[in-house]
Structure 1
Amino acid sequence: MADVTVHRDVVFHRPPDRESPLELDVYEPANGGADRPAVVVYHGGAWIEGEKGQLEALERALAEQGYVCFDANYRLSGEATFPTPVEDAAAAVRYAKANADEYGVDSDRIATTGHSAGAHLAALIAAADGGFDSTDAPVSSTVAAAAPISGVYDLRDREQATANDVERQFLGGGPDEVPERYERASPAAHVDDATPPTLLLHGDDDDLLPADGAREYARTLAAADRPVELGILPGGGHGIVVDPEDWRERGVETVADFLDRRL
């Protein structure tokens, strides 16, 4: 097993309206190297809780296989509503690109991944193609691939009476109040000919976010003639690659295999 070097609490973004900066952890192969592929990782927690470190097992496994992983925090919905958390997620990609030489990364071979709410961010950053960058950003948050896990990919067409309270808090209102946010926050609304290759990993026993959402997003990507792979894990619940169950190892292997072929 290869050694992994972890750099904790690295400042990657200093929002002007926030007292403290945002931090990430960097996992990299201990033997160093140059022009390595990288993955920017986002934790889950319904956009309202959680922090970096949630997907450490995945990040260590990827680092052992030669990937540099940037595990980023982002502002949660109790502090800031959409699009701020997504802009933070985009800033993490820009940090990886801007510091590619320092970490031995090939800036053209960077992907996103994440679990649950983090999967939504990973998919949205990939599909939006730099659409959440500031106009004066020195580099773009465009990525070469995405591998979201147990995510939600289309927030449109929500009915006011049945809109999820978690989504309301994240988006700053209901679908009748801020419909444009439900549209812009949906990865499916951004799919075009620039959307990078995408792996959608999901458990078929996910009772929080059913796998049908991943299947529908896969159809959207395929209809746009974008490379897409749908990985449905039999018996997997919502916590694949998080909970220490039999299918976590399979989930990690699926993500690693996809990235090996796409980066």
Structure 2
Amino acid sequence: MEVKEWTYEEFPEFAEEVEGAERIPTTGDEIGVFYQHDVEYAEIDGEKLHLQILRPLTRNRPNMICPCVVFVQGSAWFKQDVYIQLPRVAKLAERGYVVAVVEYRHSGIAPFPAQIMDTRNAVRFMRVHAEEYGIDPEKIVVAGDSSGGHTAMFAGMIHDDVENNLFPGISAEVKGILNFYGSCSVMKEDSNPTQLLHCQPDSPEGMVMGHVDLRESEELRRRLSVECNIEKDSVIPPTIIFHGTKDRVVNCEGSVILYRRMKECGKDVKLYLIEGADHSGNEFWTEQVLDIMEDFIQKAVR
């Protein structure tokens, strides 16, 4: 065989019969995931923010164009571990979606709504770099878990963040929202069943609102709570909510309150209660739940 710069198509396949060897057929359409780590998407006040980007690819289609899921990793609004759920979200990439995991400015350096603005700028970054990362810029949804679910909800609901737009002229609008056990409300005392500092200055919610005592300000509690910011004329893309029925960190009732408020205001929303599931867990990434996610995304981006 000649040594040269072979193309894949030109290269002769090894066809020799080898006694005892078994040949396994392939189609070339088997999906794998390519991981691009720590992609800088913004720098704000000296703070560099990154994305973890997971891209599907096959032998036959190394340059796939896919819908994009911008996923906000939860952290109680503190500094995130943006790598912790990569094996789980990779399951979506394996189904043909580019997944971009967002790093936001945490509550120690920037109060609400900085996390939302960062997420919307991450959406814009992916839209600007659609060709580079193999996405369809018209088929982007936002997702997140815990505080990331809260952030994803607001990121899909806010439409007037022009002054925070790092990519002038580029839209941050999304086709859908996937909310995984989002910490979306602080209006009830048992919103966070195991948190003894609920709404106090050192609590996660107190920190993200500027290290303040939310017990003294219903106005600030309402500003932070998603359901309190939804009206009949609110423009909200189709939304899907997943919540475990034994969530000890974020009360499942909070998602029920949000769901009922969205239904009351005529919004397109579906709630799935994952029986016995705590805060996070493999129960949210079963084949059944992934099928539900995929069906939702496909309908949302049509």
Whether the TM-score (by the shorter chain) exceeds 0.5 is yes
- Matched residue, 1:111: 141
Q: Is the 8 A contact 2:144 2:178 kept in 1?
A: yes
Residues 1:146 and 2:182 are matched in the alignment: no
Query: What SS does structure 2 have at the residue aligned with 1:66?
Result: coil
Aligned equivalents of 1:162 and 1:154: distance in 2? 12
Residues 1:167 and 2:205 are matched in the alignment: yes
Aligned equivalents of 2:119 and 2:265: distance in 1? 25
- Matched residue, 2:256: 215
After the TM superposition, which residues 183-194 of structure 1 pair with which residues of structure 2 at under 5 Å, given as runs? 183-191=222-230, 192-194=233-235
- Matched residue, 2:51: 24
| Equivalent AA in structure 1 for residue 52 of structure 2 | D
Aligned equivalents of 2:123 and 2:215: distance in 1? 32
Asked which structure has the greater RCO (Cα within 8 Å, sep 6+), the reply is 1
| Equivalent AA in structure 1 for residue 173 of structure 2 | T
Summarize the Cα distance change of 1:222–1:131 in structure 2 as closer, same or farther, 3 Å threshold.
farther
Query: What SS does structure 1 have at the residue aligned with 2:267?
Result: coil
Query: What SS does structure 1 have at the residue aligned with 2:118?
Result: helix
| Residue-by-residue CA offset, 1:46-90 (whole Å, 9 max, x unaligned) | 111322122213321111111111111111112222122222122
TM-score under structure 2 length normalisation: 0.76
Query: What SS does structure 2 have at the residue aligned with 1:14?
Result: strand
Residues 1:49 and 2:49 are matched in the alignment: no
Summarize the Cα distance change of 1:133–1:112 in structure 2 as closer, same or farther, 3 Å threshold.
farther
| Residue-by-residue CA offset, 1:85-131 (whole Å, 9 max, x unaligned) | 22212211111111112222122211111111111111111122354
Give the drift of 1:157.
Answer: 7.1
Q: Is the 8 A contact 2:238 2:267 kept in 1?
A: yes
Aligned equivalents of 1:196 and 1:33: distance in 2? 29
Q: Percent identity?
A: 25
Give the drift of 1:43.
Answer: 0.9
Q: Is the 8 A contact 1:3 1:64 kept in 2?
A: yes
Residues 1:224 and 2:265 are matched in the alignment: yes
Aligned equivalents of 1:247 and 1:106: distance in 2? 26
Summarize the Cα distance change of 1:217–1:84 in structure 2 as closer, same or farther, 3 Å threshold.
same
Aligned equivalents of 1:248 and 1:146: distance in 2? 17
Summarize the Cα distance change of 1:201–1:157 in structure 2 as closer, same or farther, 3 Å threshold.
closer
Q: Where does the alignment leave 5 or more consecutive residues of structure 2 unmatched?
A: 1-29, 191-196
Summarize the Cα distance change of 1:177–1:256 in structure 2 as closer, same or farther, 3 Å threshold.
same
Give the drift of 1:174.
Answer: 2.3
Give the drift of 1:22.
Answer: 0.7
| Equivalent AA in structure 1 for residue 296 of structure 2 | F
Aligned equivalents of 1:107 and 1:93: distance in 2? 9
After the TM superposition, which residues 124-135 of structure 1 pair with which residues of structure 2 at under 5 Å, given as runs? 124-131=154-161, 134=164
Give the drift of 1:142.
Answer: 1.6
- Matched residue, 1:80: 110
Which protein has the larger Cα radius of gyration, Structure 1 or Structure 2? 2
Q: Where does the alignment leave 5 or more consecutive residues of structure 1 unmatched?
A: none
Aligned equivalents of 2:55 and 2:165: distance in 1? 31
Give the drift of 1:133.
Answer: 5.8
Summarize the Cα distance change of 1:104–1:248 in structure 2 as closer, same or farther, 3 Å threshold.
closer
- Matched residue, 1:248: 285
- Stretch deviating more after TM superposition (118-127 or 54-63): 54-63
Aligned equivalents of 2:295 and 2:87: distance in 1? 16
Aligned equivalents of 1:174 and 1:77: distance in 2? 15
